[in-house]
């Protein structure tokens, strides 16, 4: 299998990506988006997406990591009822099976990284394979300066 480094730069053209009408709670949000990358196994993709004023519920069928690049929105976790405001620079993880209510007052634009999680059986097999590699001494050690082993949100010591 050939390995490549693929770069996306420049202006992307976003195309209409209407929100499911049954999910719209208020307003007439106008959404558009475009794919940026997709992995060879089609289990992960990166997309750009934007939306105008409105309120809607989004049901996530895959894991989605969002990075807000412009505008702002209020996001309410349907399961817990907790709400938070997100703006440029904010990141959010929506796990597969979750639902969130988005309230966009004016405009929001995001980069979304979508990932199809492995089944529990495949996750267990992958964990066993990694354990065997470590046991056999073939696991790669993190490179100097890397973030290997740090929980999300923590920074390496200076």
Number of other CB atoms surrounding residue 27 within 10 Å: 13
Per-residue pLDDT tens digits of the chain, which is 158 residues long: 577 777 787 788 999 999 999 999 999 999 999 999 998 888 899 999 999 999 999 999 999 999 999 999 999 999 999 999 999 999 999 999 999 999 999 999 999 999 988 778 887 887 888 888 888 876 555 544 443 433 444 444 43
Say what the pTM is.
0.74
Token pair in block for residue 10: 């420049």
CA–CA separation, 76 and 85 (whole Å): 9
DSSP strands (E only) in the chain: 15-16, 24-26, 31-38, 44-59, 63-77, 83-87, 91-94, 99-115
The domains of the chain are located at 15-115
- CATH number, domain 15-115, options 1.20.1050.10, 3.20.20.60, 2.60.120.10, 3.40.50.720: 2.60.120.10
């Amino acid at each position: 299998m050939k390995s490549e480094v693929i770069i996306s730069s420049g202006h992307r053209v976003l195309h209409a990506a209407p929100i499911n009408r049954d999910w719209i709670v208020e307003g007439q949000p106008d959404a558009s988006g475009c794919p940026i990358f997709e992995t060879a196994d089609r289990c992960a993709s990166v997309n750009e997406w934007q939306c105008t004023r409105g309120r809607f519920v989004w049901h996530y069928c895959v894991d989605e990591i969002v990075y807000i690049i412009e505008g702002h929105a209020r996001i309410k976790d349907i399961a817990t009822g907790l709400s938070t405001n997100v703006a440029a620079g904010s990141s959010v993880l929506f796990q597969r099976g979750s639902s969130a209510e988005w309230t966009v007052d004016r405009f929001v634009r995001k980069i979304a990284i979508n990932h199809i999680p492995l089944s529990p059986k495949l996750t267990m097999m992958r964990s066993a394979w990694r354990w065997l590699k470590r046991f056999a001494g073939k696991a790669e050690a993190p490179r100097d300066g890397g973030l290997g082993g740090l929980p999300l949100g923590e920074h390496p010591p200076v």
